[in-house]
């Protein structure tokens, strides 16, 4: 019985890590490879989660819904919707550089959150949407979890594989060139604005998928789930800690941060009862401390970006030189 419990917990952890890994990979496209400081992950996450929830859930009084489409349609639509929202935002905001873009995207994520909270006819307002179907939810506890894990892993693998392929292709080299030396890339005749927009829309669509997968796992979505703390900054911490610019690093960052976060509760729980409430804050402190230490001693993250270019050594050197100057925020050097 105990063993089954541990297994259930492990499967839950794997599902959660898988979903957040999708978010971290999406952010990696924008920040790690293109240098776009998107501090509005929560906004695209929310668009995806709500789109899929509205399309797949049963009808409810007072809000849009009742289409009861298959879950897979909901997921695809969540990517489309998040991408479609990202397009005009990117069109307007990508002219801003680094920190200005960050401020603009934080603002946009807040707008999306407040629209979701106040437009009850669309999203259920503060009540949120519940009764979102989850595939295989008729099985036993462990088997529903395992089958959902399989879906998450398939999605994660597809996202990972597609991004890796794309990065090895000329497109990936071009993106890194734009990130590291915009003027040179421009001189080579690359359409920088369009490429940036591509990366922004592509990354945001994947964030939408992550949001949808979490909503279907919880079988409910409420405005509390799209709080910037848990849906934006947590993803950033994971990516920076694991190593931005490296997809394996992004996934590793999610694993490390969430395992420390979740399992540290067992340690803090063994403190005397009078500290029980304070001990919960200790976990937030541990994550903060970890981020400080990593930024101080290993700013490139646990698994740093590896230069993948093999066509010319000089190309590689330039990119490395530029990286050296620009870390930990490559976009600012441009």
Partner 1 sequence: MKLAKILMAGALATTALTTAAMADVKVGLLGGISGPIAAMSPSMIAASKLAIAQVNAQGGVLGGQKLEAILGDSACNPQNGVDAATKLVNVEQIVGLIGPHCSGAVLAVANSVTIPAGVALITPSGTSPEITGLDDGDKVFRTVPSDDYQGRALARTLLAQGTKKVAVAYLNNDYGSGLAGAFKAEFTSKGGEVAGYAAHEEGKASYRSNLAELASGGADTLVIFDYGDGTGLTILRQSLENGFFENFVGGDGMKSEAIIKELGAENLTTFTSSSPVGEASDSNAKFTKAFTEAGGSADAIFATTSYDAAFLMALGVEIAGGDKAKVAAAIASASNGEGEKVEAGEWKKALELIKAGKAIDYQGASGSLDFNAKGDVPGSYALFKVDGDSFSVKTTMK
Residues that bind partner 1 (CB under 8 A): 1-2, 4-6, 8-9, 12, 16, 62, 117-118, 120, 124-128, 130-131, 134, 137, 140-141, 144-145, 214, 217-220, 222-225, 227, 229-230, 261-267, 269-270, 276-277, 280-281, 283-284
Which residue number, 131 or 308, has a Cβ lying nearer to partner 1?
Answer: 131
**Please, are residues 20 and 238 in contact by the beta-carbon 8 Å criterion?**
yes
Q: Of the two residues 173 and 283, which places its CB atom closer to partner 1 in the complex?
A: 283
Closer of 141 and 157 to partner 1 (Cβ): 141
Residue with tokens 């829309």: 201
Please tell me the chain's helix, strand, coil percentages from 3-state DSSP, rounded to the nearest 5.
75, 0, 20
Residue 223 beta carbon to partner 1: minimum distance, rounded to whole angstroms? 7
State the minimum distance, in angstroms, from the CB of residue 129 to partner 1.
Answer: 8
* For partner 1, the closer CB: 120 or 172: 120
Residue position matching structure tokens 């490296």: 246
Sign of CA dihedral 52, 57, 63, 66: positive
Complex with partner 1: residue 88 or 138, whichever CB lies closer: 138
Smallest gap from Cβ 158 to partner 1, in A, equals: 23
Instruction: Note whether 192 and 35 are within 8 A (CB).
Output: no
* Residues 6+ positions from 82 with CB-CB distance below 8 Å: 44, 47, 48, 51, 204, 205, 207, 208, 209, 211
Helix or strand holding residue 49 (H, E): helix 41-56
Of 164 and 227, which has the nearer Cβ to partner 1?
Answer: 227
Question: In whole angstroms, how close is the CB of 224 to partner 1 at the nearest point?
Answer: 3
Closest CB 118 distance from partner 1, rounded Å = 8
**Is the distance from CB of 283 to CB of 265 less than 8 angstroms?**
yes
36 or 231, CB closer to partner 1?
231
Paired tokens of 64: 């849009």
Cis peptide before 328 (omega within 30 of 0): yes
Question: Shortest distance, CB of residue 127 to partner 1, whole angstroms?
Answer: 5
Instruction: Give me the least distance between CB of 104 and partner 1, in Å please.
Output: 25
Three-state SS at 112: helix
């Amino acid at each position: 019985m105990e063993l089954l419990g541990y297994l259930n917990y492990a499967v839950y952890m794997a599902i959660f890590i898988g979903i957040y890994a999708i978010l971290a990979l999406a952010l990696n496209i924008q920040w790690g490879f293109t240098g776009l400081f998107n501090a509005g992950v929560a906004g695209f996450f929310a668009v995806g989660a709500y789109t899929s929830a509205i399309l797949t859930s049963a009808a409810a009084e007072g809000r849009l819904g009742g289409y009861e489409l298959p879950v897979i349609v909901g997921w695809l639509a969540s990517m489309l919707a998040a991408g479609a929202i990202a397009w005009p935002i990117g069109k307007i905001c990508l002219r801003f550089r680094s920190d200005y873009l960050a401020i603009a995207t934080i603002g946009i994520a807040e707008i999306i959150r407040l629209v979701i909270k106040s437009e009850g006819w669309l999203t259920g307002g503060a009540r949120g949407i519940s009764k979102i179907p989850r595939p295989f939810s008729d099985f036993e506890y462990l088997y529903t979890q395992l089958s959902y894990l399989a879906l998450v892993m398939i999605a994660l693998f597809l996202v990972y594989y597609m991004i890796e392929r794309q990065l090895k292709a000329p497109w990936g080299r071009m993106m890194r060139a734009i990130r590291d030396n915009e003027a040179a890339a421009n001189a080579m005749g690359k359409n920088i604005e369009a490429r940036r927009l591509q990366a922004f829309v592509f990354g945001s669509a994947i964030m939408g998928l992550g949001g949808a997968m979490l909503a279907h796992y919880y079988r409910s979505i409420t405005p509390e789930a799209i709080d910037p703390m848990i849906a934006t900054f947590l993803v950033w911490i994971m990516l920076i800690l694991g190593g931005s610019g490296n997809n394996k690093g992004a996934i590793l960052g999610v694993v490390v941060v969430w395992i420390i976060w979740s399992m540290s509760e067992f340690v803090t729980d063994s403190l005397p009862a009078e500290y029980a409430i304070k001990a919960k804050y200790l976990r937030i402190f541990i994550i903060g401390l970890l981020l400080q230490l990593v930024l101080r001693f290993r700013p490139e993250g646990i698994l740093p970006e590896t230069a993948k270019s093999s066509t010319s050594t000089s190309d590689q050197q330039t990119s490395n030189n530029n990286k050296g100057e620009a870390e930990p925020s490559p976009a600012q050097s441009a």
